[in-house]
Every structure is written in C-alpha cells, then in structure tokens.
Structure 1
Amino acid sequence: MKINVLGTLSFVLLSPSPAFSCPDVQTDHIEQNRLYSELQMASNEMHGRAVGGQLWEIWVTAPDEKSQEFMDLGRERIRVADYERAEEIFDQLIDYCPNYAEGWNQRAFVRYLRQDYGNALEDITAALELEPRHFGALAGRATTLISMGRVKVGHAALRQALAIHPWLSERHLLPTGEDI
C-alpha cells in the first residue's frame, strides 16, 4: 500500500488548532487607496492590469506564515484541478483566519469551479463584507450569477466591479455597446 506522506504531513501540519488563530489582518490602507486611485486613472489596459495585479499580490499575501501555507497549498490544488482538496484547504484557512477576505474569495472560486454556485455566492458575500472594493470578488459574483442564468443581475454586479477596475477581462461579458 502506497501512502502519500507529503500530503498526509501537510494535512496534519496545516490542520487548525483551536488554541491558535491567525493574527488580525493588517491592511495598508494608504497603499491600497493609492492603487485603487491609480487603477481608476489607468489610461490603457496594460497599465490597468498591472495595477490590478499589485492589488492581487496584496490580497494573496496572508496574515501569517501558517495562513500563507494554506493559501499557497490551496492555490496549488486549484492549479492542478484538485478542487475537492482545494476546498478542504480553504475551509481550514477560513476556520483559522475568518477575517482574511482572500480566504473566502478563493473558496468561492473553487466552489464556482465545482458549480456550487449558491455556496460560492455566500463566500463572495463574506469576502466583500471584509473587503468591499475586492473587484475579483465582485467579478466572481457577476460570473456566478450569469452562470446561474441570472444574467441581468450578473451584469449589474459586473458594472459594480468595473466601476472599481475598468480594465477587467470580464467586461466583455456585457452586451456590446452597453455603458459601464
């Protein structure tokens, strides 16, 4: 019988302990506000995408080493399409660090990929309560609603995301000629 030692070890090491929780999520509001302003002023898609990428880097940087291990391992499981295991890892991240918006957003993405749209929307709501300008979560809400057949509501959610990040690739989901 072959045992996956690395997978078992990472599961044991990453299992949350009720005695420990992540530190408070520290947000550099000055830097994020600067980036959001720069995003609004971006004159072309390349610049807008670069600034958006800087915000993503902030979001995927977890509050401590343990939560970063969850984040990295969960994202790796997504990369190899192991969505069931990715969801389990993000469950652990959220249990350990419930005030970390990106944990909720990543689990929402996995649930979307698994076509678990109702639970994806719940996670998106939790992410947006923690980070209301999270254009990725807003775009995720839009694509989830559109996938559910709720196209008009999805387009409204997409317009909210585009008000924050006008260069999102999802902008092409709006009908041609429609104003953002």
Structure 2
Amino acid sequence: MLCPVIPRFVCLVAFVCGAGGAMAVCPAPPDHSSQISALLGEIQSAETEHEARLIGNELWTYWADAPDAEAQAILDRGMTRRSAYDFLGALADFDLLIAYCPNYAEGYNQRAFVNYLRRDFARALVDLERALALSPRHVAAMSGRALSLYGLGRLEEARIALESALAYNPWLTERYLLAPGGPLDMEDVEL
C-alpha cells in the first residue's frame, strides 16, 4: 500500500484496519538470536576492521529480516526513501511499519536513524530505547543511542552507552569518539 498523497494517519488506519475493518496482525519477528550470538562472537574475535565490517553486514541481514512480506516491503521502501533523503516519506513508512509490527525492533531503529539525521536526537532516543527493549544486542541501535545522547550533550551517558556497544563490537567506527582527545575521552568528559 502506497500512501504518498493522503495524510499519514488516514494511511495508517487504512493499512492497520484493512479494507474489511478487521485489524491486520503482524506475525512475531523471526528469532535469529542464535545466528546473532554466533556473529557477535565472530566480530569480537575479528583480526581486522575489514573482517569485522563483513561480519557486521551479516548482522544486518538478520536485523532487517521483517516478520512478513508486507512488513519487509514497508521497511525496504522506508530505507530507500531515507537513502534518497526523503526523510518525511521514510518517517511515514516507519510509522506504518511500527503501527503494523510494534514488536519488530528494526522499525524503531530505522525511524530513530531518520530522526537522528534530522538532528531530532530526543525522538531518536525514544525509538532507540524501544528498539533495545525488543532487541538488547542490536549493536547499531546501541551505537545510535550513544550518538543521540552525544547529540543531546549527555556526554557521560553517551560514553557509557558507546562502551556497551563496543563490548559487542569493538570495531565500531564510533570507537574513535573514546580515543584520547576524542569528544568522549574520559579526560574531556565533565562529570
């Protein structure tokens, strides 16, 4: 269902309720916990950043595996819109995805990313908290949370959040924020 010309709320109601008025039900998100655990173990023992990046790409195949074909189509469309800098269109898609699949972490993570790009760090943080409640080892959401906290000037919390993400993936590019002289270096963070 495409909703480019009708208001987002009307589109959400039409999608969630369907043509017959019955509430559409999103299936449970796929359980990829064992694959994610294995990949997180591999990424922690990676010897190079390139190797870690390849493993990280594999993680995305699981995080971005939506509960059904309809949810996948909405997720993919929203990500395409985000990549094309159509942030309002992407937000509409991620709102739709979250309304349909409220227990799917990636909908929240992607909406948070769009809000982060729009520099709305507070809204991003709300969605990242929900994504992490649903998927506690979602390293991208963890690093996004750290970056959002940083954007809000909550440096000590950002440092702690980034350290948590780095415990799962020590190769994150955001690790440089903690480097000596970096904005989250303990020497520079005011407590």
TM-score normalised to the size of structure 2?
Answer: 0.83
Partner of 2:173: 169
Partner of 1:64: 68
2:102 alignment partner, SS class: coil
* Structure 1 position 16 matched with structure 2 position 15: yes
Matches within 5 A, 1:72-111: 72-111=76-115
Matches within 5 A, 1:26-175: 26-175=30-179
The runs of 5 or more residues in structure 2 that have no matched partner are: 18-22, 187-191
Provide the rounded CA distance (Å) in 2 between the counterparts of 1:133 and 1:14.
Answer: 32
Q: Is the 8 A contact 2:30 2:66 kept in 1?
A: no
Q: Is the 8 A contact 2:16 2:99 kept in 1?
A: no
The number of aligned residues is 174
Provide the rounded CA distance (Å) in 2 between the counterparts of 1:150 and 1:79.
Answer: 28
Q: Is the 8 A contact 1:36 1:164 kept in 2?
A: yes
Q: Is the 8 A contact 2:30 2:65 kept in 1?
A: no
Q: Comparing both chains, which one has the higher relative contact order based on Cα–Cα distances under 8 Å and sequence gaps of 6 or more?
A: 1
Q: 1:21 to 1:6 in 2, by over 3 A?
A: closer
Provide the rounded CA distance (Å) in 2 between the counterparts of 1:6 and 1:149.
Answer: 36
Provide the rounded CA distance (Å) in 2 between the counterparts of 1:13 and 1:118.
Answer: 23
Superposed CA deviations along residues 127-157 of structure 1, whole A, max 9, x for unmatched, are 0001101110010011111111122221111
Provide the rounded CA distance (Å) in 1 between the counterparts of 2:42 and 2:36.
Answer: 10
Provide the rounded CA distance (Å) in 2 between the counterparts of 1:14 and 1:164.
Answer: 39
Provide the rounded CA distance (Å) in 2 between the counterparts of 1:151 and 1:37.
Answer: 28
Superposed CA deviations along residues 22-81 of structure 1, whole A, max 9, x for unmatched, are 111121322222111111111211111111110111111211110011111100111111
Q: Identity of counterpart residues, as a percentage?
A: 42
Please list every run of at least 4 consecutive aligned residues from structure 1 whose deviation after the TM superposition is greater than 3 angstroms.
5-9, 11-15
RMSD: 2.3
TM-score normalised to the size of structure 1?
Answer: 0.88
